[in-house]
Amino acid sequence: MNETLRSERLFDAFAVLADTLVAGYDVIDLLNTLVETCHELLDVDSAGILLLTAHDGLEVVASTSEANSVVEFMQLDADAGPCLECFRTRSVVSLPDVDVDDNRWPEFAATARAEGIHSVYAIPLRLRDTTIGTLNLMRNERGELNHHDIKAAQALADVATIGILQERSARDGSAVRDQLQRALSSRIIIEQAKGVVSETSSVSMDIAFQRIRHYARAHQSTLGFVAQQLVRGDLRL
């Protein structure tokens, strides 16, 4: 993709993100838009989000691939890895080659390799003193992310962070916690819906999720709502 075209697409992406913020939004959908934009416009193979939840733990709330989710979940379970490091230090963690220095996070390195992921770039979702999660870009190739992509990713991450924090200050803190909690419950239904589509269409979880996303987008619906219909048997994809 040439630079001009990419800049245009980036502007579009910001416009979409801004629209979501103005129109009132679903956190999960906002974050899904963010990871999808990263996946489409940046030189990365997948993008995912770890977000701080009501219980002060991180959760995987959006991801463009199963491999990306697996690597993030694995870090949560092991309580170690570059994405957690990014959250804790509140700064970017760049890992251009997971095999170099793999004694630091051996479990992470093994899982990433098994999933075909060879480099990771984690950006904190942070505004001044508040860090609410991380945006995790993963690539199947080794090497640093190019500086254009770094700038774009940082900007996208900032917009999403501001959106979530703005919502938090507009309402009281518990309202946002409730919203995140709801987002996580809808996450459960989305996983179940992936299982439903995977079973009925004999496709992988990745493809199943893509189909659910496309359907939601085409019908201007939220992922959570579409997932609920699938789980209830009111909709078949």
Q: Using CB under 8 A, list all residues that contact another protein.
A: 59-60, 69-70, 73-74, 76-77, 188-189, 191-200, 205, 231, 233
Closest to 1 measured CA to CA, from 52, 50, 40: 40
Site of tokens 């701080």: 52
**Measured between alpha carbons, how far is 160 from 17 in angstroms, rounded to an integer?**
7
CB nearer another protein, residue 13 or residue 196: 196
Min dist. Cβ of residue 91 to another protein (A): 24
CB nearer another protein, residue 33 or residue 69: 69
Site of tokens 């997948």: 46
Sign of CA dihedral 86, 88, 90, 91: negative
Name residue 120's beta-bridge partners: 95, 138
CB nearer another protein, residue 24 or residue 233: 233
Min dist. Cβ of residue 13 to another protein (A): 27
Min dist. Cβ of residue 232 to another protein (A): 8
CB nearer another protein, residue 16 or residue 237: 237
Alpha helices for the chain (secondary structure H): 3-22, 27-41, 66-78, 82-89, 106-114, 147-170, 173-201, 205-218, 223-232
Min dist. Cβ of residue 90 to another protein (A): 22
CB nearer another protein, residue 25 or residue 105: 105
Name residue 139's beta-bridge partners: 119
Min dist. Cβ of residue 178 to another protein (A): 20
